[in-house]
A and B are shown apart, each in its own frame.
Chain A
């Protein structure tokens, strides 16, 4: 069966510090991968998606970037965090060609 991991689960970082969130998927090959941010009381906002190694599409211009160095690894990064980067970050995967997405446990990021 497929499993998706995210770490860390929670993170508190000062403004201006760098960020690296990691997501890995097990039990499947060539998945589509997604990074979302969820604000309280609002729908999920798609940040990045990837259909393959090194292939990243950005949905929202912002302070964040994403990379996919391996088939089942997806990384969300920032060089300098802003207060507005605080939120709940979710990684998801889907089978290539299918629309159902399956989510990881999420990372709660607080920027102080």
Chain B
């Protein structure tokens, strides 16, 4: 069964403390993996698309990487405004299969 699992469920960091979020997936023939950021009470905001193992994308303090079984979202020297829930999704046919998300809290 196609599945997306994100870990940890929640992560608390001090401002400036770098870390990584994990998204593991089981899907036949990956056609794309997506990262989104979601603030409380708002719709998800698109961050990155990754298509093949070894690919990397960067945006400000975020860098997403992809292997054949998982993706990592690395956060370097985070700031309080990076606090949000980060969602991962993979393409299966015409739809996206979503993970439950990682809630990231950055303390000043």
Contact = CB atoms under 8 A, between A and B. Distances in A.
Interface of A: 6, 41-44, 46, 49, 59, 88, 90, 92, 99-106, 108
Interface stretch (B11-19, B38-46, B58-66, B73-81): B38-46
Q: Is chain B's interface secondary structure helix, strand, loop, or mixed overall? A: strand
Given A99-B96, A103-B45, A44 B34 contact: no
Given A43-B4, A43-B101, A100-B34, A90 B44 contact: yes
Contacts of B104: none
Contacts, number: 51
A99 B46 CA distance: 12
A43 B31 contact: no
Contact of A106 (B4, B41, B87, B101): B41
B91 A43 contact: no
A43 B87 CA distance: 8
Nearest to A107: B43
B32 interface: yes
Nearest to A94: B96
Interface string B85-108: 001010100111111110000000
